[in-house]
Amino acid sequence: MSPIIAIVAHTDKNRFDMPAVSIPTAYTQAVEKAGGIPLILPFTGNSDLLPRMAAHADGFLFPGGFDMDPAYFNEAPLPELGRVNRELDVFQVAAFETAMEMKKPVLGICRGAQLINVALGGSLFQDIASQFGEPVLDHMQKQIHFGTDHPVEITRGSRLFGMFGSGIMVNSRHHQSVKDPGAGLRITAKSPDGVVEALEHTALPIDLVQWHPELMMLGNQAMAPLFSAFVRSCKGGSAV
């Protein structure tokens, strides 16, 4: 039986300038291709509703999006900080805490990875270019495309290594990244300049990637092992 994957929604303005739930269809398509059933978990300001809303989900996907409010990791905002949405942060952190209490598999992508890291007590570089030093890569590619931008080196023995081996080419569309890993997380991949590209939880089925595998899936099947492993873990099987 196909597992139900709750994709945790964002909020944005629609063409009438009204608040609306927002999820790029690339995420739902990637879940479907991997054999899962996507279900949008909509924004709510009432976190008490989340356990009932999430009750039928077999796994949770946290997508990319806005910057995280640095107040969550006890920092003042830098001038380079992008758009933030405090209400969205509160909702998505509560949704992650619900998923963790349910001990269901979680996949975090880009902002989703950063948010989960912060929810577990970690911190972020608010802006790689101004904080990281002299990165050799431009991590914030302006053009959305379905190809790749740079390699990542994967840690031997990690779940990611079981999917892809020692390295893979990925895309890059982010100006923030993990600085200090949250509790229970270990780094599983880095780009050539040392920027953290992936993490996994050592005790729970939580996997985080900084790149956008859902966009790569629109161009080819290179990221199919990631989504297939996630969907398989949501069935109660092995994650690798």
Which residues form the catalytic set?
Answer: 110, 212, 214
Catalogue the E-assigned strands of the chain: 4-8, 10-13, 19-22, 37-41, 59-62, 106-109, 124-125, 150-154, 167-170, 177-178, 185-190, 196-201, 206-209
**How, if at all, do strands 4-8 and 59-62 pair?**
parallel
Structure tokens at 208: 């985080």
Q: Cα(51)–Cα(62) distance, rounded to whole angstroms?
A: 16
> How crowded is residue 237: how many other Cβ atoms within 10 Å of its Cβ?
11
239 close to 229: Cβ distance less than 8 angstroms? yes
Residue position matching structure tokens 């899936």: 217
Structure tokens at 76: 């003042």
